[in-house]
């Protein structure tokens, strides 16, 4: 009979990775700005957070008048390694299909900044960071944060870099939620915005899936009320289950059926056991185990919570359009037909609100059967859309002159 | 900060219920037939299972020529208490909306039989039953079973009751899969069949959700490799998480949004904690905790496995129509518009296969926003469909004469 193996990968190779991962929390390999104790970040909860570290990566060159900067906001389990090798997993950057020399987000033309989000575990302050009051990792003493808080932390970084206006803010999924908070909180500082595969609020079903994941983590005895760091354990089984459940929502039913169907894994017939008979089972277990290697369980709790709290409509008096009143930002909203996590109707709600305030907005629904994950994949129409939008907007703003270092 | 509370309900009131639940395994309050050691059931795996207990409930009166019997097949977490109070939870029967005196499945006219399935935990043999070889509960020594095995066990019961032909076999969800196995395995013995909200095979997404649930159970240290019975523990946290994940698939996105939306639970504002701020969180935690009170974790593993193994097309040479060649059964296939677990296209595949062999089949897609759960709820059009189909079929077969005991 089969036994639990969602974390097989972690068992095999996890220990060195746990060390590498924890090292990225306290001694990140990325450039990091630290805002000291006397400059706390005021959170939406009213709490003050200090010190505040923001670890980030940049790609390309900032031009003389600092007008070619693009901020990329990452998703729930993403990080700053957009187009550079991940220091823990050794894998290529998560958006190398889109970002790089000559790519749609062209690092020969633009200066790309991607910070690890507040609450993350790759060098920006999060629940795995040291709590100055105790000298130990925060654990659940870390304050509950919001998407708006993440953006306020990013504003600090952009200020620090001396950039007055961002040429563009781009992000998919939770990254798109940050894009929306940027244009509402910093309306003069965002020339163009590309919210991708995202939503202006988290639906009941979105919250439900996150709650399952959180309960899976918290049910793991190795979670220890969030204080697992110093015991040298990780709630890997719970976090793997959380990742497995979430992963299903990232793929369309059609993509799952096409990629895996009912195909068996390395066997000719059913085993009549609880082994991973089916390829889809094996795939999900792998997704669970590799995730545990690179992500902090408490960060997962805090970031999912921030997403669940996200409701731009409610935050603006129950009328989404109010969020965008007076905006001068030029928008390109992108959705994918088979995305059932943040379906096209969510993007349309954003577009409708932008239209209601006569904003400059284009909207593209990309035909894809890849589900929510499409935004991370080679989707030619999506990439052409981003390239076209940025190129036209750059030309309009006279940015073409800065192309390729001229 | 919040702590794990998916099993709060179980902690509060669980212990007496665990006892009541385990008593139903070994000393069911339902009528039970036991097939002894010398009459083993040959399973699809090739293994022999004996002794075999089938606990069941009946409603109404069997007529003299035994022509008014209807078999109801229950779903994954259902049981034989279709229209009678549940002995553990004290709740009304799970299909009382449909089954009873004067109801669409009219107990004044028909003799209703509902057995607890093989692998279940309400008196039929399952992983919580005593293994005759060890004198202890089977745990993971229980053989992996299939939907076909469940039906073969039911055939024993119907034989035992001296019924040659069932007037109808009715079931929703996994119950519908049993209906399909009945008409293929016992083609002379099923006059009419009503497979509801079901599928002829389990899709990759279906398997994926079940695998998440199984891994959640197996990740719970109280699962103990399946041998938790004698230690007096229950993998309640893992099973609660499994139930929460599954429950999301039972409801449509629209139903979740309509019923819960982003409404807060007993509070005016976000708590900035991991408490169940949102009604949907509270609801899911409740679903998890109450499920643990009434269901055996190993049964959950075995039954989900049986469902994942279900593929009527593959079992018939890769052509679903082959399953139904020569059938004389009259079919009424029912699906619901908002069911994304077993969507209408799955029912249409059944209908298409039946049409390919010129079977007598009617198909009704019911407009509902309640998702998969619709088959358990007051859905007037659905109930009218079942009533109409059974009434017409009874009249056609001269069964009307038996109405109301005449």
Condensed to tens digits (0 to 9), the pLDDT of residues B303-362 reads 999 999 999 999 999 999 999 999 999 999 999 999 999 999 999 999 999 999 999 999
Q: Which residues between 75 and 114 in chain A have a beta carbon less than 8 angstroms from any beta carbon of chain B? A: none
Beta strand ranges found along A26-157 (DSSP E): 32-35, 41-42, 48-49, 52-59, 69-73, 99-100, 105-106, 111-115, 130-131, 136-137
Shortest alpha-carbon distance between residue A208 and chain B (Å) = 6
Of the candidates A220, A248, A280, which has its C-beta nearest B219's C-beta?
A: A220
Beta-bridge partners for A332: A362
Residues of B in contact with A201 (CB under 8 A): 262
Shortest alpha-carbon distance between residue A223 and chain B (Å) = 10
Mean pLDDT of A26-39: 95
pLDDT of residue B16: 66
Cα–Cα distance for residue pair B80/B92, rounded to 1 Å: 12
pLDDT greater than 60 at residue A361: yes
pLDDT greater than 70 at residue A143: yes
Beta strand ranges found along B45-135 (DSSP E): 48-49, 52-59, 69-73, 99-100, 105-106, 111-115, 130-131
Q: How far is CA A319 from CA A1, A112, B268, in A?
A: 55, 33, 19
- Of A367, A347, A373, A377, the C-alpha closest to A248 is A373
- Of A143, A17, A138, the C-alpha closest to A86 is A17
Shortest alpha-carbon distance between residue B268 and chain A (Å) = 13
Shortest alpha-carbon distance between residue B240 and chain A (Å) = 9
pLDDT greater than 80 at residue B200: yes
pLDDT of residue A398: 87
Residues B282-312 as b or e (16 or more Cβ within 10 Å = b): bbbbbbbbbbbbbbbbbbbbbbbbbbbbbbb
Mean pLDDT of A110-126: 98
User: What is the enclosing helix (H) or strand (E) of A303?
Assistant: helix A297-309
pLDDT greater than 90 at residue A366: yes
Cβ distance B274 to A214 less than 8 Å, yes or no, reads yes
SS3 B100: strand
Residue A210: how many other CB atoms lie within 10 Å: 26
Cα–Cα distance for residue pair A399/A391, rounded to 1 Å: 9
Q: What's the CATH number of domain B14-402, 3.40.190.10, 1.10.10.60, 3.40.50.1820, 3.40.710.10?
A: 3.40.50.1820
pTM listed for this prediction: 0.94
Beta-bridge partners for A335: A365
Cα–Cα distance for residue pair A362/A330, rounded to 1 Å: 8
Residue B227 contacts residue B366 (beta carbons within 8 Å): no
Residue B159: how many other CB atoms lie within 10 Å: 13
Find the closest chain A residue to B252 by CA distance. Answer: A205
Residues of A in contact with B264 (CB under 8 A): none
Residues of A in contact with B280 (CB under 8 A): 204, 207-208, 211
In chain A, pLDDT over 70 holds for what percent of residues?
94
Cα–Cα distance for residue pair A51/A59, rounded to 1 Å: 26
pLDDT of residue B399: 83
Cβ distance A143 to B272 less than 8 Å, yes or no, reads yes
Residues of B in contact with A261 (CB under 8 A): 204
pLDDT greater than 50 at residue A406: no
Q: Catalytic site residues of A?
A: 173, 339, 372
pLDDT band at B20 (very low <50, low <70, confident <90, very high): confident
In chain B, pLDDT over 90 holds for what percent of residues?
91
Residues of B in contact with A257 (CB under 8 A): 203-205
| Residue of higher predicted confidence among A10 and A347 | A347
Within an 8 Å CB–CB cutoff, is residue B169 touching chain A?
no
Q: Which residues between 287 and 316 in chain B have a beta carbon less than 8 angstroms from any beta carbon of chain A? A: 288, 301, 305, 308-309, 311, 314
SS3 B336: strand
Cβ distance A144 to B274 less than 8 Å, yes or no, reads yes
pLDDT greater than 90 at residue A405: no
pLDDT band at B403 (very low <50, low <70, confident <90, very high): very low
Residues of A in contact with B204 (CB under 8 A): 253, 256-257, 259-262, 278, 280
HSE-CB for A386 with a 13 A CA cutoff: 30
Q: Which residues between 184 and 243 in chain B have a beta carbon less than 8 angstroms from any beta carbon of chain A? A: 201-205, 207-209, 211-212, 214-216, 218-221, 225-226, 237-238, 240-241
pLDDT of residue B17: 77
Q: Catalytic site residues of B?
A: 173, 339, 372
Shortest alpha-carbon distance between residue B289 and chain A (Å) = 12
Cβ distance A144 to B220 less than 8 Å, yes or no, reads no
Does the interface predicted TM-score (ipTM) exceed 0.90?
Answer: yes
Of the candidates B4, B45, B257, which has its C-beta nearest A204's C-beta?
A: B257
pLDDT band at A154 (very low <50, low <70, confident <90, very high): very high
In sign, the C-alpha dihedral spanning A149, A154, A160, A166 is negative
Within an 8 Å CB–CB cutoff, is residue B269 touching chain A?
no
Cα–Cα distance for residue pair B11/B31, rounded to 1 Å: 31
Of the candidates A3, A204, A280, which has its C-beta nearest B280's C-beta?
A: A204
In A199-296, which ranges are continuous DSSP H helix? Answer: 204-219, 236-250, 253-259, 279-294
Parse chain A into domains and list their residue ranges. 14-402
DSSP string for residues in B4-28: --TTHHHHHHHHHHHHHHHHHHHS-
pLDDT digits (tens, 9 = 90+) for B101-144: 999 999 999 999 999 999 999 999 999 999 999 999 999 999 99
SS3 B255: helix
Shortest alpha-carbon distance between residue A278 and chain B (Å) = 8
Cβ distance A284 to B208 less than 8 Å, yes or no, reads yes
Beta strand ranges found along B138-223 (DSSP E): 166-172, 190-196
Of the candidates A241, A273, A301, which has its C-beta nearest B219's C-beta?
A: A241
Within an 8 Å CB–CB cutoff, is residue B133 touching chain A?
no
When scoring A235, A274, A289 by the number of chain B Cβ atoms within 10 A, the one with the most, hence best to mutate, is A274
Within an 8 Å CB–CB cutoff, is residue A394 touching chain B?
no
- Contact residues for A271 (Cβ-Cβ < 8 A; gap 6+): A277
Residue A389 contacts residue A194 (beta carbons within 8 Å): yes
Residue A156 CA, chain-centre distance (Å), reads 19
pLDDT digits (tens, 9 = 90+) for A244-258: 999 999 999 999 999
Cα–Cα distance for residue pair B346/B352, rounded to 1 Å: 10
Residue B117 contacts residue B74 (beta carbons within 8 Å): yes
Cβ distance A248 to B208 less than 8 Å, yes or no, reads yes
- Both tokens assigned to A386: 């981003």
- Both tokens assigned to B72: 């109801």
Beta strand ranges found along A236-378 (DSSP E): 330-336, 360-366
When scoring A43, A233, A272 by the number of chain B Cβ atoms within 10 A, the one with the most, hence best to mutate, is A272
Mean pLDDT of A172-198: 98
Residue B51 contacts residue B36 (beta carbons within 8 Å): yes
Cβ distance B241 to A244 less than 8 Å, yes or no, reads no
């Amino acid at each position: 009979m089969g036994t639990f193996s969602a974390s097989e990968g972690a068992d095999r190779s996890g220990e060195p990775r746990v060390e590498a991962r924890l090292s990225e929390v306290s001694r990140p390999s990325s450039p990091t700005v630290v805002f000291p104790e006397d400059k706390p970040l005021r959170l939406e909860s009213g709490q003050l957070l200090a010190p505040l570290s923001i670890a980030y990566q940049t790609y390309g060159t900032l031009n003389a008048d600092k007008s070619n900067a693009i901020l990329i906001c990452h998703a729930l389990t993403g990080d700053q390694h957009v187009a550079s090798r991940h220091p823990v997993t050794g894998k290529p950057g998560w958006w190398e299909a889109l970002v790089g020399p000559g790519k749609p987000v062209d690092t020969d033309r633009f200066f790309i900044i991607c910070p690890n989000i507040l609450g993350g575990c790759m060098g920006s302050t999060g629940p795995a960071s040291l709590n100055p009051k105790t000298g130990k990792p925060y654990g659940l003493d870390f304050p509950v944060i919001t998407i708006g808080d993440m953006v306020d932390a990013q504003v600090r970084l952009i200020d620090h870099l001396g950039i007055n206006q961002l040429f563009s803010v781009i992000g998919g999924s939770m990254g798109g939620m940050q894009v929306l908070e940027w244009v509402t909180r910093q309306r003069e500082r965002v020339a163009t915005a590309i919210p991708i595969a995202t939503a202006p609020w988290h639906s009941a079903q979105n919250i439900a899936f996150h709650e399952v994941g959180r309960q899976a983590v918290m049910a793991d005895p190795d979670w220890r009320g969030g204080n697992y760091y110093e015991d040298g354990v990780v709630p890997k089984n719970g976090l793997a289950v959380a990742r497995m459940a979430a992963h299903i929502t990232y793929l369309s039913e059609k993509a799952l059926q096409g990629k895996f169907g009912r195909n068996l894994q390395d066997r000719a017939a059913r085993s009549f056991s609880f082994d991973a008979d089916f390829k889809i089972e094996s795939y999900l277990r792998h997704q669970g185990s590799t995730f545990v290697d690179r992500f902090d369980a408490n960060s997962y709790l805090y970031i999912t919570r921030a997403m669940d709290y996200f409701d731009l409509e409610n935050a603006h008096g129950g009328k989404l359009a109010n969020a965008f009143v007076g905006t001068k930002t030029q928008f390109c909203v992108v959705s994918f037909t088979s995305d059932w996590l943040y379906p096209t109707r969510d993007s349309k709600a954003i577009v409708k609100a932008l239209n209601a305030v006569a904003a400059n907005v284009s909207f593209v629904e990309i035909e894809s059967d890849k589900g929510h994950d499409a935004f991370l994949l080679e989707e030619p129409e999506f990439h052409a859309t981003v390239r076209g939008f940025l190129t036209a907007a750059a030309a309009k703003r006279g940015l073409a002159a800065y192309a390729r270092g001229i």
